[in-house]
Structure 1
Amino acid sequence: MWSHSICKEPNLMLKQLERKLGRFCVPHLTWILIGGQTLFFLGILANRDLYGQMVLVPNMVLEGEVWRLLVFMFIPKTLSPIWFAFAMYILYLMGNALEAHWGEFRYNLYIFVGMLGTIGAAFIVPSQETTNFYLMTSLFLAFAYLYPDFEFYLFFILPVKVKYLGMLTAAFLVFSFIGSDLSGQLAISAAMLNFSLFFGADIARRVKGGKKRMAQKAQAIKEASTPFHTCSVCKRTDKSDPQLHFRYLPGEGDPVCYCEDHLPE
């Protein structure tokens, strides 16, 4: 079931973490992300150099620009006012849905695991710039996984179920991973860490269950196509000639099958 996407042992661990750390949750995290991105969106429109001060560059962090460890989370995806407003609406929609599904603590955990993973991966190649792009993408994948039949209207006209957009996004990430250098691959892997932790076990179970169902279906098809009666003379069967009648007569060993056209006189 979609609502039990985390396997039992990790689920128990999460409950224990929530009891110990739940009081440290950041309330209204979605609104903070929206507010931060809106603030920096306006700031970048006023001063394009601000973007360069927001991206996560570990070498710059080590030189004292520690704010980059946080503000990279507020980098807007676009500088188009219309598309930015649309992106914030989607973020609001996804964030509220995920928080309602998981609860405040697990929603916080999902985002901060991705954030810390992204920061950790960035320090492996400290000269490269890192943004929140893949982390926000992991948020979309979580929404698509939990609410596969939710519909978005592309260009405000064409209804498309989010599961198909999720599949396209996953394919994009795979091709991006293959075509990226080490820093890009690390960024993708780190940002997807939260998705793997929350949904990996469920996906593995579904794949295993799917293989089992396919094997059972193949076996059923094989059994359905296997004839029950085969004439010992002409080799016609109840499958090849469903209207044909068969009879069994005593033989030297087992009874011998004959169709009605070849019954011994």
Structure 2
Amino acid sequence: MLIIVIGTAAVWLLSMMDRSGQLLGLLSFSPTAILHGQIWRLVTFVFVPTNSGIWLLISLYFYYFVGSVLEREWGAGRFTIFYLSGMLLTIVYGFIVYFAAGLPVPLSTVYINYSLFFAFATLYPDNMVLLFFFIPLKMKWLAWLDAAYFAYSILDGLINLPGTLKLLGIMPVIAILNYLLFFGSTLGSLFRPRAARRKTVNFQQELHRMKKDAKQKNYMHKCAVCGRTDADYPELEFRYCSRCAGYHCFCQDHINNHVHFTE
């Protein structure tokens, strides 16, 4: 994500110094230009800023914060695949609209970046962020606002745009598809009845098993996310999640920030 943030900031600075005003046009997505050999546009469009000034700085900071957390959670490989798949779906959508309606689509990474919020909110729904640096808000509520904006954009395009122009209104769906590719199974487990998701646990048997394992492994508690144990980190607090299926231990850093076990 750091590459995207730095690249976008650099393009914005260069565009401010570009007296001809042609730089952003040369980097933007254009199916016609791409088909005539300007293939760099398939990549450079992600660096074209969609706003400027203080709003650009706030957006880039937020994108970097969310992207960095996801990269640490998933690893650089999976995060890169997530972002590249969003880019690929967006490019395919742009060409479909171009050939179906004969329209050059002004593609940007706005909805791709917004899909990062959905991913972050799924992994850390109760994590607090400061909206505009002073409004405390849980990520799950920010994601709902994000979803409302997506729904409004889609409905506005489908209702107000005529004929094949309605295809322009479904651009947010591309970001949702990318999100569902990675979180479809997780969302399915969240919407199942809780009684069906949670298995009955015999706590006496689990406690006996844990004590037996502790003698063999020289620790009593181990975080299911980061792998830290009470033997290696005696100052950490360990707890068990009541929402997970089974008996799973988490350290104080991950008890409220983990994907719940469903089986």
Aligned to 1:96: 68
Do residues 79 (structure 1) and 56 (structure 2) align? no
Q: Which runs of 5+ in 2 are unaligned?
A: 99-103, 158-164, 198-263
Selected match of 2:111 from 134, 138, 145: 134
For 1:123 and 1:155, how far apart are their aligned partners in 2? 36
Aligned to 1:177: 154
1:77 Cα deviation from its structure 2 partner: 3.2
Instruction: Map Cα deviations across residues 118-159 of structure 1 (whole Å, 9 max, x no partner).
Output: 001110012222111111111122112211122222333221
RMSD: 2.0
Q: How does 1:39-118 map to 2 (within 5 A)?
A: 39-47=10-18, 48-80=21-53, 82-118=54-90
| TM-score computed with the length of structure 1 as normaliser | 0.64
Measured at CA, do residues 116 and 211 of structure 1 come closer, stay the same or move farther in structure 2, by a change above 3 Å? farther
For 1:157 and 1:191, how far apart are their aligned partners in 2? 28
Instruction: Map Cα deviations across residues 34-93 of structure 1 (whole Å, 9 max, x no partner).
Output: 11111101122223432222321212211222111001111223211x222222221221
AA matched with 2:91: I
1:166 Cα deviation from its structure 2 partner: 0.6
AA matched with 2:139: V
For 2:169 and 2:132, how far apart are their aligned partners in 1? 31
AA matched with 1:155: F
- Whether the 8 Å CA contact 2:66–2:116 is kept in 1: the answer is yes
| Deviation larger for 203-212 or 82-91 | 203-212
- Whether the 8 Å CA contact 1:54–1:75 is kept in 2: the answer is yes
Larger radius of gyration: 1
Q: Which runs of 5+ in 1 are unaligned?
A: 1-29, 214-265
Measured at CA, do residues 113 and 158 of structure 1 come closer, stay the same or move farther in structure 2, by a change above 3 Å? same
- Where 1:123 maps in the other structure, the secondary structure is helix
Following TM superposition, where does structure 1 have runs of at least 4 consecutive aligned residues deviating by more than 3 angstroms?
210-213
| TM-score computed with the length of structure 2 as normaliser | 0.64
- Where 2:83 maps in the other structure, the secondary structure is helix
Aligned to 2:3: 32
Selected match of 1:157 from 134, 137, 141: 134
- Whether the 8 Å CA contact 1:113–1:193 is kept in 2: the answer is no
Selected match of 1:125 from 91, 94, 97: 97
1:190 Cα deviation from its structure 2 partner: 2.1
- Where 2:96 maps in the other structure, the secondary structure is coil
For 2:81 and 2:150, how far apart are their aligned partners in 1? 22
Aligned residues: 183
Instruction: Map Cα deviations across residues 70-117 of structure 1 (whole Å, 9 max, x no partner).
Output: 01111223211x222222221221111101111111101100110100
Measured at CA, do residues 133 and 155 of structure 1 come closer, stay the same or move farther in structure 2, by a change above 3 Å? closer
